[in-house]
Amino acid sequence: MNSYGVKKAMAVCLAGVMTLMATACGGQKEAERNLISSEQGEKVVVNLFGPMEKTNPDAENIARSAFDQTVIMAEDALDVTVIYRTYTAENYQEKTYDDVTLDRVRNNMDDLYLLNPDTIQVLGEEGGLLDLSGLENAGNLRDIVRMANTVDGKLVAIPQEVVAYGLFVNQDMFDQYDLKLPETPEDFLECCRVFQENGIETPVGANRWWLENFVFAQAYADLYNGGNTEAEIAALNSGESKYSDYMRSGFEFLKKMMDLGYIDAEAAYEYEAIEGEGPDFLAQKTPIVMAYWGAANTDTAYGNPDFNMKVIGFPSDRGQIPVVSMTGYGISANAEHLDEAVKTLDIILSDEALELYSKTNKVISPSKNVDVDCIPALRPLNDKIQENTYVLGSNAGLKVEQWGNTCLIVRELLKGATVEECMAKFDKLQKKSLRE
Amino acid sequence: MKWKKYRKDNGMPLFLSIILVFCILGTVMFSVVRKLSAEMSASAIQNLSESLDLMKGTLEAILRKEAEFQKMMAQEIATIEDPEEFIRSYQRNQTMVRVSLIEAGKTKGVSNIGKKFTEGELNFSAGGMVEGLQVSQSYLNYMGTWAYTMKCPVKKEGREIASLYIEYVYDSFEESLPDGFYDGWAMLYIMDAESERFVLKPKGMGERDAGHLNLEDFYRANDIQEEELKEEVSACVESGENILFYHDIRDKNALNYMWAVNQGTIYLIGYVPVEAIQQEERTVNQNIIIVIVVMLVAFLLCCILYYLNQRQQIRMRKEQEEEREIHNKRLAEALQVARMASDSKTMFLSNMSHDIRTPMNAVLGFTSLLARDAENPIRVREYTKKIMASGQHLLSLINDILDVSKIESGKVVLSAEEFTLSDLVCSVDAIIRPMARAKHQNFYVEVTDIRHEYLMGDEMRINQILINLLSNAVKYTPEGGNIWFRIIGQKQRSNQYAFIRIEVEDDGYGMTQEYLKTIFDAFTRAENSTTNKVQGTGLGMAITKNIVKLMGGTIDVSSEVGKGSLFVVELEFRLPEGQADRRFWVEHRIERILAADSDAECRSNIKRLLEDTGILTDTVATAEEALHLLQTGGSARNYQVVLLSERLLLANGAETVKEIRRLLPEETPMLFLAEYDAEGLEEALAMAHTGMIGKPFFVSALQEKVLEMQRERNVDGRAEKEKVNNLEGLHFLAAEDNEINAEILEEVLSIEGADCELVENGKLALERFASSGENEFDAILMDVQMPVMNGYEATKAIRALDRGDAKRIPIIAMTANAFAEDEKEALNAGMNAHVAKPIDVEALKRAIKECILGKE
């Protein structure tokens, strides 16, 4: 461009700038008389009680973000606002989340609840939860899910994911000491012995929540996989069989582990899940921990280890076996916003929402219509589940609540109770259930 | 450079001024923005404080109302007979979820939810009070929500009969707080000060990615790790004071607040991003930034425009400077040229002054001597001879000057007339050979490869070229030197043109290379000790060059000092139509010629030249061979012309030649081919029908000679010649306005035995002729430039007269207008001949004779 052309362009630019400034100086439209826009009609509110608060879309915690996305789907579809009410215990001495949940359901404080298996059973039996069988999307559920959440013939809760618990092992360390991944409790103890002999004082990292999975694996491997499940459950519910008979071997196994120092009982009693034992596992000081499926996909848990990690089932006489548990959503039978809560839950549990949730969190979906690929580390566990080889950590069909009670009794064991004292507690619980 | 200096002097200060103005403007803008920002921050803090105060006031009002209601209830209970039943029957509402009563002196009491109530469940140790009532530390109640209990004594007649405990839930505050704070940007919790536990997050009060349990969790989640800050907060919480501080929350600058409610028993705690409370600041800042950016853009554009303008001005200035420099250079060159020209002309004038004064001095000197010695005829003849020589030299000088002037002013017109190389060479030879001989120089003329003798061109000018070159050669060659004059035929470029190369070579003084560069410039002359005795105008070579140029030819010179010079002129001449006039030879019955020359080149030259004439040519090398040829078989009759080189005559003596002559028929011409100045031919030429033609051989020369010899045979030329040789008895009418010239003319004619009648102008001449008798005058001598009527007009008028001799009478122009075109104009006006002034008596006589002969 010659200089004349440049000058011309400059002149046009200057004119443009002047126009821009002149436009910017222009007056605004005259304000209306009433400066406050008329109030919008109040939105219908659905109160959701859960352990976590509602998050921003850009929140780092992927699990909660996935749940929030499904909630947003419901909010958009129904034009409701889901308000999160939360409670988190400050320490183990405080009321647990489950305690608070029970109180809140019983006092009709909220509409929707995220419930742990033990509270599902308690509240189901009390009649505090709405029968969800009528939900449009209830028909999509896998049978196992339906069975685990049915109390007195009523489907009282539905989970967003099937939570499978397994052992997270450091394959590299097993290879280092030429150890095979344990199939039976004896194998497991032998592995621990070898690790300990090689300087790893506490081969198993444990917390106050998940040690019970060892007990469930050994107690119910036959019950759920022996082909006589219903009859055995009926015998337990009628008192013909004793829970303590089922549980004893598991408790003895744990006791032995504690006695041999394979588990640090004192630490385990106070450790919160993952927070306590996780760092040592990731630092390869501990070759074995226990956790849920999703932990293998979550960077904040065990999603990105520096070693070859495998997730396997807990040892039992039937070999490795996953423990399946479900935290489900239930609706208070006397919910203030019952209809909206039902509709909201129906959308949250739709195949579309469950697919979004499962794919985001890479977890097993409760819907038989949603399949999700799993990462290589989870394949051993996934293979067992696909073979229908697993035990339920919670079953609302059993009169004695399993997940919460066993957890508490294991804590007793951790505090120094004998196996016999623990078994007596189970017998007491069974008696109580028979009385009710 | 000048322009740079200019730029430095004028551009930079202006540029710096602009920068300074914008810097000041920028500083002012920056200060304004800062001040505005500070004011808006203060305003935002004020606004936030007021909002928090409002919420605090609301919560305290609720607490007061709750306390007042509880007091009223206590008063009511004091009046009831069965207070426990009253308590049991109380239905909980959204605010008061549990009502309990412990009678005085008891540790357990009743509660409306049916369970036994003990004060041990509650912690009143923090000492919180509302309206005089004790407030417990917050706790998680039976409903799974955070609650507090106020304790109110139930007094009857001044005696405390029981304590009323009412449990209130924090959830009840929610309805009294706004739905969202700063459009949902702000986070707000209600914290129990004693336990530092977060007991309520009102709905709409922000979202976050970690559950907040207590103050420590709040610190951790929001990365508030500064110990000093934490201690300061703790101190404020302990003393029940408000605290507001800036701290980044998730990488955003935020205002964190902790607002004490009810003397600090509970706190409003949270944060709000600064951008949320200062949205208008952001808008204002954005607008200011837009204004600044626009200003910067405008400034940049101004700078660019200024720069472009400066650059253009500099470029223009530079161009002007360059133009001026070129102009100055040209002027300097022109001045130099002018000076050189002036110097040349000054030198020329100086030379001319010398050259003109010298002969003029001789003329005047000898004229004065003539006046003194008028009585002495021998002296008079000697003086007049010298005056004549000086006058001739003066005339040649003037002619040269005029020639240069004419050529330079473009007034020269070349004529294109037929001429023969023979005549050309002959005339040049005639002039140069005597000059060369005078200096004892050898002058060689060589003609080779010429196919065409008849050419079209300005013979006079070609002559001038050759004379100039050759006379220079003679001048600048010392005595005894050699001069070669060569005419060489070149390969024709076109059928209609002959291409001829003329070489003039000498072994004379030669010229320096410096001089060669200016040799063709006017007013230059080789000056050195050897040549300065040579007279000349210095214009000869300039004239030569210009004439050659006019003819479309080229002239080159090569020379070396002491060795001589070589001038080469190449010219093209148009060939006349109907060349090689064969008819002449047929008419004169010349079919065969015998040529004898010892030089083989000459023989082939003769043969080649005669090819086009249709004549058969036999050539022999010696006279004996010629004789032998003529003797055999009576072939002497077969030859109509015999050419013999003079060399053969000199070599073989006259006898062989005489024998040849004897063998030839009487009418057959025998011609000697000889140099013009050849000597020793007199005896041979005395023989009948024997003549001489000059070397080199030309057909035209042969033709002319044959014609001449035939004419001689037919006419008594000698008698005729004598008759016309003088002007005896002729009577002229002469028109001449200059008295001296008239007098000279009259005198010259009277010497020749003629007389003339003089008139002063053309008109008088016309009148005199008109009044004269038939054939009274033999001719009219007419000056051209005359007053009243000039020569041309007078001639036209005479020719127009209605009388018998008006058309016939010869009119001869006598004029100082001596150029070819003047002659042409004279002839066009009807004159018969043209004689240039000053009057050459011989030329005048010749012209008169031609006219009168022609007339007869």
- Which of B113, B139, B207 should be substituted to probe chain A, the one whose Cβ sees the most A Cβ atoms within 10 Å? B207
Does the beta carbon of A94 lie under 8 angstroms from any beta carbon of chain B? Answer: yes
**Cα gap A255→A266, rounded to integer Å:** 13
Gyration radius of chain A's alpha carbons: 27
Residue A27 has pLDDT above 60, yes or no: no
Kindly state whether residue A251 falls inside one of the protein's structural domains: yes
Per-residue pLDDT at B290:
85
Find the residue in B nearest to A107 (Cα). Answer: B143
- Same domain? A211 vs A282: yes
B80 Cα to chain A: minimum distance (Å): 29
A386 Cα to chain B: minimum distance (Å): 34
Kindly state whether residue A169 falls inside one of the protein's structural domains: yes
Q: Which residues of A touch B300 (CB under 8 A)?
A: none
Beta strands A150-151 and A154-155 are antiparallel
Q: Which residues of B touch A59 (CB under 8 A)?
A: 209
* Chain centroid offset of residue B366 CA: 62
Kindly state whether residue A388 falls inside one of the protein's structural domains: no
- Same domain? A114 vs A192: no
What would the mean pLDDT of B89-102 be, rounded to a whole number? 87
- Same domain? A138 vs A255: no
Per-residue pLDDT at B475:
85
Interchain proximity B145–A109, CB inside 8 Å: yes
Interchain proximity B287–A24, CB inside 8 Å: yes
**Cα gap A251→A212, rounded to integer Å:** 9
Q: Which residue has the higher pLDDT, B731 or A185?
A: A185
- Same domain? A79 vs A190: no
What would the mean pLDDT of B422-446 be, rounded to a whole number? 85
- Same domain? A136 vs A261: no
Does the beta carbon of A83 lie under 8 angstroms from any beta carbon of chain B? Answer: yes
B403 Cα to chain A: minimum distance (Å): 57
- Same domain? A156 vs A200: no
Per-residue pLDDT at B92:
82
Kindly state whether residue A387 falls inside one of the protein's structural domains: no
Q: Which residues of A touch B140 (CB under 8 A)?
A: 87, 94-95, 100
The whole model's pTM is what? Answer: 0.51
Residue B159 has pLDDT above 80, yes or no: yes
Per-residue pLDDT at A58:
53
Kindly state whether residue A384 falls inside one of the protein's structural domains: no
pLDDT confidence of B534, banded at 50, 70, 90? very low
What would the mean pLDDT of B505-534 be, rounded to a whole number? 68
Kindly state whether residue A406 falls inside one of the protein's structural domains: yes
Per-residue pLDDT at B855:
45
Interchain proximity A55–B209, CB inside 8 Å: yes
Interchain proximity A24–B304, CB inside 8 Å: no
Nearest CB to A107; choose among B143, B208, B287: B143
- Which of B121, B138, B139, B145 should be substituted to probe chain A, the one whose Cβ sees the most A Cβ atoms within 10 Å? B145
What would the mean pLDDT of B269-273 be, rounded to a whole number? 88
Q: Which residues of A touch B210 (CB under 8 A)?
A: 53
- Same domain? A191 vs A273: yes
Q: Which residues of A touch B208 (CB under 8 A)?
A: 53, 55-56
A335: three-class secondary structure by DSSP = coil
A365 Cα to chain B: minimum distance (Å): 24
- Same domain? A348 vs A319: no
Per-residue pLDDT at B528:
42
Q: Which domain holds residue A302?
A: 165-324+400-435
Interchain proximity A99–B203, CB inside 8 Å: no
Which of A32, A16, A33 has the alpha carbon at shortest distance from A24?
A: A16
Chains A, B: CB contacts under 8 A, how many?
Answer: 78
Kindly state whether residue A123 falls inside one of the protein's structural domains: yes
B329 Cα to chain A: minimum distance (Å): 31
pLDDT confidence of A17, banded at 50, 70, 90? low
Beta strands A44-50 and B243-249 are unpaired
What would the mean pLDDT of A82-95 be, rounded to a whole number? 78
Find the residue in B nearest to A59 (Cα). Answer: B209
B514 Cα to chain A: minimum distance (Å): 51
Which of B571, B423, B566, B599 has the alpha carbon at shortest distance from B483?
A: B566
Q: Which residues of A touch B201 (CB under 8 A)?
A: 53, 86
- Same domain? A240 vs A302: yes
**Cα gap B845→B843, rounded to integer Å:** 5
Find the residue in B nearest to A19 (Cα). Answer: B294
A45 Cα to chain B: minimum distance (Å): 10
pLDDT confidence of B530, banded at 50, 70, 90? very low
pLDDT confidence of A31, banded at 50, 70, 90? very low
From the CB of residue B338, how many other CB atoms can be counted at a distance below 10 Å? 12
Which of B482, B579, B490, B472 has the alpha carbon at shortest distance from B536?
A: B472
- Same domain? A137 vs A282: no
What would the mean pLDDT of B531-547 be, rounded to a whole number? 66
Beta strands A80-86 and A44-50 are parallel
Q: Are B802 and B789 in contact (CB under 8 A)?
A: no
**Cα gap B576→B455, rounded to integer Å:** 6
Q: Which residues contact B141 (CB under 8 A, 6 or more apart)?
A: A103, B97, B98, B147, B167, B169
A409, burial (CB in 10 Å: exposed 0-12, middle 13-18, buried 19+): buried
Interchain proximity A10–B301, CB inside 8 Å: yes
Residue B67 has pLDDT above 90, yes or no: yes
Interchain proximity B308–A3, CB inside 8 Å: yes
Kindly state whether residue A371 falls inside one of the protein's structural domains: yes
Find the residue in A nearest to B291 (Cα). Answer: A21
**How far from A116 is each of A119, A190, A402, CA to CA, in Å?**
6, 34, 11
Within 13 Å, how many C-alpha atoms sit on residue B168's CB side?
24
**Cα gap B603→A221, rounded to integer Å:** 146
> Which of A48-52, A113-117, B391-395, B782-786 is least confident?
B391-395
Interchain proximity B144–A88, CB inside 8 Å: no
Q: Which residues of B touch A61 (CB under 8 A)?
A: 209
**Cα gap B124→B118, rounded to integer Å:** 13
| CATH code where residue A429 lies | 3.40.190.10
Q: What is the DSSP string of B364-377?
A: HHHHHHHHHTTT-H
Nearest CB to B207; choose among A13, A54, A95: A54
- Same domain? A233 vs A310: yes
Q: Which residues of A touch B311 (CB under 8 A)?
A: 3
- Same domain? A96 vs A107: yes
Per-residue pLDDT at B715:
60
Q: B169: which 2 tokens?
A: 């839930």
Per-residue pLDDT at A39:
53
**Cα gap B791→B737, rounded to integer Å:** 11
Interface of B with A (CB under 8 A): 140-145, 197, 201, 203, 207-214, 287, 290-291, 294, 297-298, 301, 304-305, 308, 311-312
Per-residue pLDDT at A54:
61
Q: Which residue has the higher pLDDT, B422 or B62?
A: B62
From the CB of residue B139, how many other CB atoms can be counted at a distance below 10 Å? 18
Per-residue pLDDT at B694:
79
Looking at the structure of chain A, the number of domains it has is 2
User: Which residues 8-67 on chain A approach chain B with CB closer than 8 angstroms?
Assistant: 10, 13-14, 17, 20-21, 24, 45, 51-56, 59-61, 64
What would the mean pLDDT of A207-228 be, rounded to a whole number? 91
* B11: DSSP letter: I
- Which of A96, A109, A272 should be substituted to probe chain B, the one whose Cβ sees the most B Cβ atoms within 10 Å? A109
Find the residue in A nearest to B304 (Cα). Answer: A10
Q: Which residue has the higher pLDDT, B256 or A372?
A: B256
> Which of B231-240, B784-793, B817-826 is least confident?
B817-826
